[in-house]
Amino acid sequence: MMDKPHSPDSEQPPSPATRSLAEAGDAKAQFSLGFCFASEGSAPDYLQAAQWYQKAADQSHALAQFNLGVMHDRGQGILRDRFNL
């Protein structure tokens, strides 16, 4: 995951079909939703991105695991433990 990924699809909201698949448990669709939320131009929704990445990561989706790790490292979409900084 990069700060502002460049992809032709990154500026478009997720399709209803992608959301339906994600809600039904499809790991690729969950990753796709996470990516969409993480790369929403100037106002990414890291909380939503982390939630969708987590769902995909729980199903062994490697890129979701990686992006979630990067987000944790940066403190994006998670609560930071101020005592362990």
In tens, the pLDDT along 40-55 reads 888 899 999 999 999 9
Determine the structural domain holding residue 63 and report its residue range. 45-77
At residue 18, the pLDDT reads 95
**Quick check: is 57 in a domain?**
yes
* Percentages of the chain per state (helix, strand, coil), in multiples of 5: 55, 0, 45
**Quick check: is 23 in a domain?**
no
In tens, the pLDDT along 32-41 reads 999 999 998 8
Does 9 have pLDDT greater than 60?
Answer: no
**Quick check: is 54 in a domain?**
yes
This prediction has a pTM of: 0.78
Backbone angles phi, psi at 77, to 5 degrees: 80, 10
**Quick check: is 69 in a domain?**
yes
Considering its fold, how many domains does the chain have in total?
1
Higher-confidence residue of 24 and 75: namely 24
**Quick check: is 10 in a domain?**
no
**Quick check: is 85 in a domain?**
no
At residue 81, the pLDDT reads 67
